[in-house]
Amino acid sequence: MKKYYAGCNHYGVDIAFNCGWSVKAFDTVRERNSWVSENWYNEQGNHTVKALDYHTVRKILGSGVWIEFDGFLINEKDDPRN
């Protein structure tokens, strides 16, 4: 099943994808867009959330198996439960 992704970076969305990004996966575009619009800015007014494509998510998480942990995706090799 196709997934739709959004990324969150508390430093702002203009930061390189190898620094501070968290990724969420959604089943529909509507769910993703709703989450993005609700979380667009942080308390300091910084633009911190945006929709991401698969290739960008792969840059952030790396190749391999991605699993959900605390509501966000992580690479299975980084799973603190292992």
For the chain, domain boundaries: 4-78
Weakly modelled stretches of the chain, pLDDT under 50: none
What are the tokens at 68? Answer: 């959900």
pLDDT tens sequence across 29-41:
999 999 999 988 7
pLDDT attached to residue 8? 92
Helix (H) or strand (E) holding 68: strand 66-69
Task: Give this prediction's pTM.
Answer: 0.84
Give pLDDT, residue 7. Answer: 94
Please compute, for residue 37, the number of CA atoms within 13 A of its CA located in the half-sphere on the CB side: 6
